[in-house]
Amino acid sequence: MLELLGHGLAAVMNFEILFMIACGVAAGIAIGALPGLTATMGVALLLPLTFGMDAESGILLLLGIYAGAIYGGSISAILLKTPGTPAAAATAIDGFEMSKRGEAGRALGISAVSSYIGGTLSVILLILISPQLAKIGLKFSAPEYFALAMFGLSIISSVSGKHVLKGIMAGVIGLLVSTVGIDIVTGYQRFTFGNMNLFNGFSFIPVMIGLFALSQSFISLEDMMKKVSIKQSLHRILPTWEDMKKVIPTALRSGLIGTFIGIIPGAGGDIGAFVAYNEAKRFSKHPEKFGTGIPEAIAAPEAANNGVTGGAMVPLLTLGIPGDATTAIMLGALIMQGLQPGPLLFRDHAPLVYTIFVGFLIANFFMLILGFVGIKWFTKIITIPAYILTPVIFVLCIVGSYAINNNFFDVIVMFVSGIIGYVMQKLEFPASPIVLALILGPMAERELRKSLMMSDGEISVLFTRPISAVLLSIAVITFFMPIIKKTITNIRQQREGQK
Amino acid sequence: MKRLTKRLGSVVLIVAMVTIMLAGCAKEEAKFPNGPITMIVPFSAGGGTDIVTRAVADAAKNSLEQPLVVVNKTGAGGAVGMGEGANAKPDGYTVTTICVELTTLPPQDLAPFTSDDFRPIMQINAEPAAITVAADAPWDTVEEFLAYAKENPGKVQIGNSGVGAIWHLAAVAIEKAADVKFNHIPYEGAAPAVAAILGGHIEAVTVSPAEVASQVEAGQLKILGVADNERLNSFPDVPTLKESGYDVAIGTWRGLAVPKDTPDDVMNVLKEAFGQAVKEESFTSFMANSGLTIAILDEAQYREKMNSENKFFKDLVADIK
């Protein structure tokens, strides 16, 4: 294997290939940072460009876009509270808080380092143990997916900050909204009112753009009158040793979580980021500080979503099955280059596979470099006066939600979600639970019903399979933990009050 | 002097306006096409329908001498994009990539249009359904598989790419032809269904051979039979279902169409240009590399195929409900 890695390194150390990787990462960061342009769209849009290239350059250009876009999503999440991609939705929670304190540079630095750690870790795992990892991914059947979705949903109580009950209410609203569309088993239309645009339910990216970005613009319209400007300190871009001590362990653990989520076909960066956020909070000595803008809370989702990039390549390369929407397009790219992904790829094209591996590592490194170089420029965005920035964001919201399906209906959805999001902010309802519920609600329903169809209606199938039983138990603990903790502190306070 | 200038000015203005108007008329009379042609793809960028359309567009731009702009209008399983294409101005400047959903959605009341709202230019690509099982499954032929299914009604779990989608309808058609009962498990597209069969969670899938080709080559899956009229070039050893005595030919297809009232002269230009495009070396090698089958049908043949499918799927959907 070392020989093959050496060959890969030699093949990548070529100006054309390095240039392609750098271009891919740079384009990816820009695509990721723009709300509405996701990693999947970036890869799909630039796919035709790669047809004329040789396999190494073409595939690595796309991988560069993939890695760059997943990192890029955090830039707008941190600066504008507008996740550039769904994978950065969890980053917006603490990232924007830190940025509001004038520490946008610090937040972006942490995000770049964590993305690098998560991404690199996942590629190393991809190189070392991808066949073994792929087997774990295949163990997931409907009950396991259901348990994973329930675990994801249980995170709602921990991403809701101090308003657990309001978070749960928001989650339930999200679940209700996610039931709109054609029933996946019977084909019956639910709450569509015959409107063709609702057959597949609400597109969740316009909803997310509305809830996060548009509602935030409404808030800044109010602030515009007050003329508050935040002074951004940009002296320090490289994270301090103090920050690194907190970031590195979190990023390693989260990168691992992301890689595992990535190998499961159908679970992507958005889920990975939320799971890692939750786990970081659970492992933390001061979980109550999550949501106030602390380094670990940015490191966890960012390391995890880039961890997913390497993880998602595992089933693609070893089984020929894409792990998420982006790798589905990558599958097309590989086939176009005459490479049939799957078990035979390693046998027939080993040198090329290792070239891709080494190139993917380099793409992650370029992402780190470009991330740091860019911080100075990125942070300039928030020094733009609100009366210019806010209209620009308005336009981006509209363009972004239109671009997803080229359908004007999505723009209306975005506006309505924006107004709802504004009211929710005013009433201190967190928005992340809605996003989580919209992503995971359909998955939970689909997989539950599939489990029951496959077991002839026997519900015990959910608890007798080991992976699903473990995940469901973690889900129950995760969900009730904040509530139990709160009750305990309440009782203690009462007792102290009585004394 | 001042008045003269003023008068001269107005004369110049009038002349200019007349010239522009004439130029405008001349432009309208010029041969079709004299502007960019929009091609609507009802599915998202990067998918099979998208790459086929982009490849055709690329090959056709030489003979049309006009840019072809591919736009993805996604949603409702293709109904949004095809609906927009059907309602476009019938001037040939909006070409829609139509797919098998044009005949499967209307009988399920999922589309406010039918194939009669289009005038087909040509079919370009078609992929049949196939019965694929794990390589170590106890069945080696379609007969054995369907005999087992008959003895164990509702036991065989068969994965499809979503309720009402073409591979689900294919499984229902096989069910009907063989008089068996499957347990249909819906997945979000073909790839997760293939993953489920690799993981041993379901017994069979009815997706296209191209979607399982790499796992078949690797010896993890085997194709028992294809639901086509003839054997495939890519898998010449796999028998058709008809050979095994089950009269089922079902699959997905993609083609180009314009709104129904498009005039003949415009149609002829498009037929000529796209007919040329699908013969280009760049296009044929692209399709071969992507594992996609070129299956050309002209307007009349294509119309006939859609008419028979309209009836076929209407009956089939009635069976599901």
Q: What is the pLDDT of residues A307-347, one digit of tens each?
A: 999 999 998 888 888 877 888 888 888 887 878 787 778 88
CB pairs under 8 A between A and B: 138
> In chain B, which residues have their Cβ closer than 8 Å to the Cβ of A328?
46, 191
Backbone angles phi, psi at A181, to 5 degrees: 125, 180
DSSP A211: I
> Residue A321 and residue B217: Cβ atoms within 8 Å?
no
How near does any CA of chain A get to the CA of B186, in Å? 7
Amino acid identity for residue B150 in this structure: K
Confidence grade of residue B26 (pLDDT, cut at 50, 70, 90): very low
Which strands, in side-by-side order, build the sheet including B183-186?
B183-186, B157-160, B204-205, B130-134, B221-226
Q: How do beta strands B157-160 and B183-186 pair?
A: parallel
- Listed in order, strand segments (DSSP E) in chain B are 37-41, 68-72, 94-99, 118-128, 130-134, 157-160, 183-186, 204-205, 221-226, 251-259, 294-297
Whether chain B has a CB inside 8 Å of the CB on A484: the answer is no
Query: Is residue A283 within a helix (H) or strand (E), and if so which, with residue range?
Result: helix A269-283
Question: Quick one: DSSP state of residue B255?
Answer: E
Check B214 against A341: CB less than 8 A apart. Answer: yes
Is the confidence at residue B139, as pLDDT, over 90? yes
Asked if A21 contacts A57 with a C-beta cutoff of 8 angstroms, the reply is: no
The mean pLDDT of chain B is 88
Nearest C-alpha neighbor of A157 from the set A268, A278, A295, A257: A278
Residue with tokens 């975005």: A414
User: What string of DSSP letters covers B170-226?
Assistant: HHHHHHHHHT---EEEE-SSHHHHHHHHHTTSSSEE---HHHHHHHHHTTSEEEEEE
**Residue A182, pLDDT above cutoff 90:** no
Rounded to a whole number, what is the distance in Å from the CA of A434 to chain B's nearest CA?
Answer: 22
Q: What residue spans define the domains of chain B? A: 37-126+251-320, 130-226
Query: In the structure encoding, which two tokens stand for residue A297, read together?
Result: 């809370």
Answer yes or no: do B198 and A319 touch at CB < 8 A.
yes
pLDDT digits (tens, 9 = 90+) for B151-206: 999 999 999 988 888 999 999 999 999 999 999 999 988 888 998 999 999 999 99
Please count the helices (runs of H) and the strands (runs of E) in chain B.
Answer: 11, 11
Q: Domain residues for A465?
A: 2-498
CA B96 to chain centroid: 10
Helices marked H in A320-349 — which ranges?
325-336, 343-348
Which residues from chain B sit within 8 angstroms of residue A45, using beta carbons? 45
- Exposure of A448 in the CB half-sphere (CA atoms within 13 A): 11
B121 vs chain A: nearest CA distance in angstroms? 24
Rounded Cα distance between A95 and B26, Å, is 60
Q: What percent of chain A has pLDDT over 70?
A: 97
Which range has the worst mean pLDDT, A44-58, A164-178, A451-465? A44-58
Residue B309 identity (one-letter amino acid): E
Average of per-residue pLDDT values in chain A: 87
The confidence score (pLDDT) of residue A335 equals 80
> In the prediction, which pLDDT does A237 show?
67
Q: How many domains does chain A have?
A: 1
Select the residue from A38, A198, A321 to test the B interface by mutation, using most B Cβ atoms within 10 A.
A321
% chain A with pLDDT above 90: 36
- Residue of chain A whose alpha carbon sits nearest to that of B50: A44
| pLDDT > 70 in chain B, percent | 90
What is the phi/psi pair of residue A271, to 5°? -70, -45
A-chain residues within 8 Å CB-CB of B188? 266, 446
Looking at residue B78, its pLDDT comes to: 87
* CA distances to A84, A86, A317 from A40, in Å: 12, 11, 18
What digits encode the pLDDT tens for the residues B60-106? 888 888 888 888 888 888 888 999 999 999 999 999 999 999 999 99
Q: Which residues of A touch B45 (CB under 8 A)?
A: 41, 44-45, 47, 329
Query: How many Å apart are CA B126 and CA A246, to the nearest integer?
Result: 56
Judge whether B37-126+251-320 and B130-226 match in fold.
Answer: yes
Q: Which range among A291-305, A377-391, A451-465 shows the weakest confidence by mean pLDDT?
A: A377-391
Do B163 and A321 lie within an 8 Å CB cutoff? no
pLDDT at A233 over 70: no
| Global ipTM | 0.82
Q: What is the mean pLDDT of residues A142-164?
A: 87
User: Closest partner residue to A340 among B76, B192, B214, by Cβ?
Assistant: B214
Beta-carbon separation of A407 and B75 below 8 A: yes
- Compare all CA atoms of chain A with the CA of B42 and give the residue at the minimum distance: A405
Of residues A305 and A223, the one with the higher pLDDT is A305
Q: Identify the band that residue B27 occupies on the pLDDT scale cut at 50, 70 and 90.
A: very low
Chain A CB contacts of B199 under 8 Å are 138-141
Query: Hey, which residues 293-322 in chain A have their CB within 8 Å of chain B?
Result: 315, 319-322
* Pick from A250, A354, A247, A256: nearest CA to A307: A256
The listed CATH number (1.20.58.340, 1.10.490.130, 3.40.640.10, 3.40.190.10) that belongs to domain B130-226: 3.40.190.10
CATH classification of B37-126+251-320 is 3.40.190.150, yes or no? yes
Per-residue pLDDT tens over the stretch A353-381 = 999 999 999 999 999 999 999 888 888 87
Over residues A410-428, mean pLDDT: 93
What letters, b where the CB count within 10 A reaches 16 and e where it falls short, cover A79-111?
bbbbbbbbbbbbbbbbbbbbbeeebbbbbbbbb
Please judge whether B213 and A340 are an interchain contact, meaning their C-beta atoms are less than 8 angstroms apart.
Answer: yes
Q: Is the pLDDT of residue B18 over 70?
A: no
Q: H-type helices in A86-240, by residue range?
A: 91-100, 104-139, 142-154, 156-159, 164-178, 204-208, 215-226
Give the residue from A430, A425, A412, A393 showing the smallest Cα distance to A163: A430
Task: Give A 203-222 residues with CB within 8 A of chain B.
Answer: 203
A287 touches chain B (CB under 8 A): no
DSSP string, A395-442: HHHHHHHHHHHT-HHHHHHHHHHHHHHHHHHHTT--SHHHHHHHHHHH
Q: Is the pLDDT of residue B46 over 90?
A: no
Judge: A200–B76 Cβ closer than 8 Å, yes or no: yes
| Mean pLDDT along residues B236-263 | 93
Question: Inter-chain contact B112–A196, Cβ cutoff 8 Å?
Answer: yes
Alpha-carbon gap, residue A88 to A115, rounded angstroms: 11
Model-wide pTM > 0.90: no
Contact map slice: A 36-75 vs B, CB within 8 A: 40-41, 43-45, 47-48, 51
Q: Provide the edge-to-edge strand list for the sheet that holds B118-128.
A: B68-72, B37-41, B94-99, B251-259, B118-128, B294-297
**d(CA A139, nearest CA chain B) in Å:** 6
Whether the per-residue pLDDT at A226 is higher than 80: the answer is no
Nearest neighbour of A184 by CB, restricted to B83, B163, B320: B163
